[in-house]
């Protein structure tokens, strides 16, 4: 059983980055029906790049840290690169074999949720919002 | 913290023997002995229930009501014996008023669908309350969508008690049904169900009681209550999942159309038209959950044997839990209803209930975290979710002590 609440995750929970004040760009909201948690994501795309990705809402340590880490990881990426990161994380979260998470950087700390399948939706909540946001 | 002296000693002395009857309790989770405090979601099953289900499949398995052979006779007799046992358990007037369903949810849907079809029309009103579980909200919303009826909601106080004055004001000549929980699954509020029923009847309105969270904790006498429908689930009273009960007054059930079509619910079928079976079979289409009924019968015996001693024990356990949790730094108990049974919701400052649930799970303690299928109640309380402990017949003060001892770890991680 991995350590779910690693220091880096707790740090992003306590001090979420890019949190609040969503600005005027496109916005999506996603809720977790299991717990009522809600994340709103907003993007300021310029030059076909995500020059700003922000979130607000309320949630557990996992969903808040996941959103915070996501915003850090995807800023300055174009939509294709952002989708690739999201896909790599989803594979790492759900693949049968434990993943080689080296390419995920700080996001790798989220993969400990593999040992807590009841909490998987907490981690994926902001990423499903991202998927919808990039589709806009 | 309350002294354990408030725990009735004779009943408490029997707890080890009761716990031995539940095989699931004798395990470790994440290396720690399991503490199971999620009984409002479902209870564990004693050996007698497990063995009764196994024995049914081992010796008597057959379909009911149709066969002329010995096994079918045994299965039919077993099913009908349970119906009469449940009748006695809730003191219904006759076995035909006891309908087997898959659980409380189906029982409520049956009434919404069948009673609603004849008795509820456009502009009519259904009264529910803020304390309801989704299963006593959504079937009525669906009925309102179908019929054009209007849903009225009894508000609550900040303590989590129903506002009876507001309830009186909601009753009018268009009120066709009042559907309320006996006990709230999220807060443990015990509703003044006698008064609710009396007021509705004074208005000529029948009452459905969602008894899922009451029946494990108190004797229920449907004739003394004079409720018109009473619904509960087998799996919350130490029985199996997939079996539940709807009690209904014969007068109402007779007037209601069938809920589902199929075998068992007919007396004759011709393509020109079908004659429906008599009660209770009119409402039991298809092969019922026979093994579930057998398990439910054994569970009812088990509960009836132990309930008299469990009631004072549980009251003391609730008092112990309330004061023990309230004494922990950072813990807030949600609501302060006049009477509480079974379930207790709490919060820890700055910690999400799901994170509480995971951290105490790693200590071997099973609690519930979330909105408890009561999102309108959570919204009224200004909360997204809570952590909840709920008691069963096997819980001890030591279980509460394990929980309160685990909370500093929660605070250490997230505080």
Answer yes or no: is A61 within a domain: yes
Task: Compute the distance between CA of residue B366 and CA of residue B352 in angstroms, rounded to an integer.
Answer: 16
Phi, psi of B365 (to 5 degrees): -110, 120
Residue A40 is predicted with a pLDDT of 87
Answer yes or no: is A1 within a domain: no
Task: Please say whether the beta carbons of B356 and B387 come within 8 A.
Answer: yes
CB contact under 8 A, B355 and A59: no
Rounded alpha-carbon distances, angstroms, from residue B88 to B124, B247, B252, B314: 35, 12, 20, 24
Going along B317-401, which residue ranges are E strands? Answer: 331-333, 343-348, 365-366, 368-370, 386-390
Question: β-strands B35-36, B125-129: how paired?
Answer: unpaired
How many CB atoms are closer than 10 A to CB A123?
27
CB contact under 8 A, A119 and B413: no
Residue B9: in which H helix or E strand, if any?
Answer: helix B9-13
Task: Compute the distance between CA of residue A73 and CA of residue B409 in angstroms, rounded to an integer.
Answer: 30
Name the packing angle between helices A120-135 and A79-94 (round to 10°). 160
Nearest to B244 by CA among B282, B208, B285, B292: B292
Query: How many domains is chain A built from?
Result: 1
Which chain B residues are Cβ-neighbours of A1 within 8 angstroms? 30, 362
Task: Please say whether the beta carbons of B105 and B137 come within 8 A.
Answer: no
β-strand partners of B343: B390
* Terminal CA-CA length for chain A: 38
Of the residues B134, B380, B384, the best mutation for testing chain A's interface (the one with the most A CB atoms within 10 Å of its CB) is B384
Answer yes or no: is A136 within a domain: no
Q: Does domain B49-299 have CATH number 2.60.120.260?
A: no
Rounded alpha-carbon distances, angstroms, from residue A22 to A18, A39, A57, A75, B91: 9, 11, 11, 14, 59
Q: Which of A4, A35, A38 sits opposite B370 (nearest CB)?
A: A35
- Within chain B, all domains assigned CATH 3.90.1150.10 are found at 4-45+308-414
For B4-45+308-414, CATH number out of 3.90.1150.10, 3.40.50.300, 3.30.9.10, 2.40.30.10 equals 3.90.1150.10
* Catalytic annotation present for B373: yes
Query: How far is residue B2 CA from its own chain's centroid?
Result: 29
CB contact under 8 A, A59 and B353: no
Which chain A residues are Cβ-neighbours of B355 within 8 angstroms? 5, 60-62
Task: Please say whether the beta carbons of B167 and B154 come within 8 A.
Answer: yes
Domain carrying residue A21: 7-131
β-strand partners of B210: B181, B231
Tokens of B389: 């402990």
- Reading phi first (left if > 0) and then psi (alpha if -120 to 50, else beta), residue B153 is in beta
Of the residues B32, B357, B385, B413, the best mutation for testing chain A's interface (the one with the most A CB atoms within 10 Å of its CB) is B385
User: Does residue B369 sit in helix, strand or coil?
Assistant: strand
Q: What is the pLDDT along chain B (415 residues), one digit of tens a residue?
A: 444 447 888 888 999 999 999 999 999 999 999 999 999 999 999 999 999 999 999 999 999 987 789 999 999 999 999 999 999 999 999 999 999 999 999 999 999 999 999 999 999 999 999 999 999 999 999 999 999 999 999 999 999 999 999 999 999 999 999 999 999 999 999 999 999 999 999 999 999 999 999 999 999 999 999 999 999 999 999 999 999 999 999 999 999 999 999 888 888 888 888 888 899 999 999 999 999 999 999 999 999 999 999 999 999 999 999 999 999 999 999 999 999 999 999 999 999 999 999 999 999 999 999 999 999 999 999 998 999 999 999 999 999 999 999 999 999 999 7
Gap from B377 CA to chain A (nearest CA, Å): 12
β-strand partners of B268: B275
CATH code of A84's domain: 3.90.1010.10
User: Does residue B69 sit in helix, strand or coil?
Assistant: coil
Summarize pLDDT for A1-32 with one digit per residue, the tens. 558 999 999 999 999 999 988 887 888 998 88
């Amino acid at each position: 059983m991995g350590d779910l609440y690693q220091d880096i995750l707790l740090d992003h929970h306590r001090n979420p980055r890019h949190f609040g004040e969503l600005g005027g760009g496109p916005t999506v909201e996603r809720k977790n029906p299991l717990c009522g948690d809600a994340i709103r994501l907003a993007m300021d795309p310029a030059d076909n790049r995500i020059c700003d990705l922000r979130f607000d809402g309320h949630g557990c340590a996992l969903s808040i840290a996941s959103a915070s880490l996501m915003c850090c990881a995807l800023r300055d990426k174009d939509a294709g690169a952002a989708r690739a990161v999201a896909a790599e994380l989803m594979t790492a979260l759900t693949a049968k074999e434990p993943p080689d998470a080296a390419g995920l950087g700080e996001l790798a700390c989220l993969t400990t949720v593999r040992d807590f399948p009841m909490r998987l939706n907490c981690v994926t909540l902001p990423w499903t919002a991202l998927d919808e946001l990039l589709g806009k | 913290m309350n002294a354990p002296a408030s725990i009735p000693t004779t009943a408490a002395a029997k707890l080890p023997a009761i716990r031995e009857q539940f095989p699931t309790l004798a395990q470790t989770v994440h290396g720690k002995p399991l503490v199971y405090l999620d009984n409002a979601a479902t209870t564990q099953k004693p050996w007698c229930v497990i063995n009764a289900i196994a024995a049914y499949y081992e010796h008597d398995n057959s379909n009911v009501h149709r066969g002329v052979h010995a096994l079918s006779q045994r299965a039919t007799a077993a099913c009908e014996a349970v119906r009469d046992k449940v009748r006695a358990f809730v003191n219904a007037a006759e076995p035909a008023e006891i309908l087997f369903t898959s659980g409380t949810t189906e029982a409520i849907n049956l009434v919404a669908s069948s009673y609603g079809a004849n008795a509820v029309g456009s502009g009519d009103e259904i009264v529910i309350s803020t304390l309801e579980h989704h299963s006593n909200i959504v079937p009525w919303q669906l009925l309102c969508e179908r019929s054009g009826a209007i849903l009225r909601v009894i508000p609550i106080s900040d303590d989590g008690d129903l506002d009876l004055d507001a309830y009186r004001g909601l009753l009018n000549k268009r009120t066709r049904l009042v559907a309320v929980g006996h006990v709230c699954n999220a807060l443990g509020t015990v509703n003044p169900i006698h008064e609710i029923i009396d007021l509705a009847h004074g208005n000529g309105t029948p009452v459905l009681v969602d008894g899922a969270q009451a029946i494990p904790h108190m004797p229920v006498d449907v004739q003394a209550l004079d409720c018109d429908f009473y619904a509960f689930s087998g799996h919350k009273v130490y029985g199996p999942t997939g079996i539940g009960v709807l009690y209904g007054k014969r007068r109402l059930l007779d007037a209601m159309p069938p809920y589902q079509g199929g075998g068992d619910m007919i007396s004759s079928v011709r393509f020109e038209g079908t004659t429906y079976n008599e009660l209770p079979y009119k409402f039991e289409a298809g092969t019922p959950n026979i093994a579930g009924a057998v398990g439910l019968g054994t569970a009812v015996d088990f509960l009836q044997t132990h309930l008299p001693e469990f009631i004072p024990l549980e009251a003391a356990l609730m008092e112990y839990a309330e004061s023990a949790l309230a004494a922990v730094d950072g813990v807030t108990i949600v609501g302060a209803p006049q009477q509480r049974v079974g379930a207790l919701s709490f919060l820890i400052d700055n910690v999400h209930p799901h994170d509480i649930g995971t951290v105490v799970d790693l200590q071997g303690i099973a609690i519930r975290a979330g909105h408890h299928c009561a999102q309108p109640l959570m919204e009224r309380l200004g909360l997204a979710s809570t952590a909840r402990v709920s008691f069963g017949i096997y819980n001890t003060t030591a279980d509460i002590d394990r929980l309160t001892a685990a909370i500093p770890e929660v605070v250490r991680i997230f505080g």
